[in-house]
Amino acid sequence: MVREGFKKAQKTIDVSVGESVRIIRELQELSQNQLAELSGIPQSTISAIENDRISLGVERAKALARALKCHPAVLVFPGWEIDEGHAA
Judge whether 23 lies within some domain: yes
Three-state secondary structure of the chain: CCCCCCCCCCCCCCCCHHHHHHHHHHHCCCCHHHHHHHHCCCHHHHHHHHCCCCCCCHHHHHHHHHHHCCCHHHHHCCCCCCCCCCCC
d(CA 6, CA 57): 38
Judge whether 27 lies within some domain: yes
Our count of domains for the chain comes to 1
Q: Indicate yes or no: pTM above 0.85.
A: no
Judge whether 86 lies within some domain: no
44-62 confidence digits (pLDDT tens): 999 999 999 999 999 999 9
Q: Which amino acid is at 77?
A: F
User: What CATH number corresponds to the domain at position 54?
Assistant: 1.10.260.40
Neighbours of 57 (CB within 10 A): 11
Enclosing domain of residue 32:
17-76
At residue 3 the predicted structure's pLDDT band, cuts being 50, 70 and 90, is: low
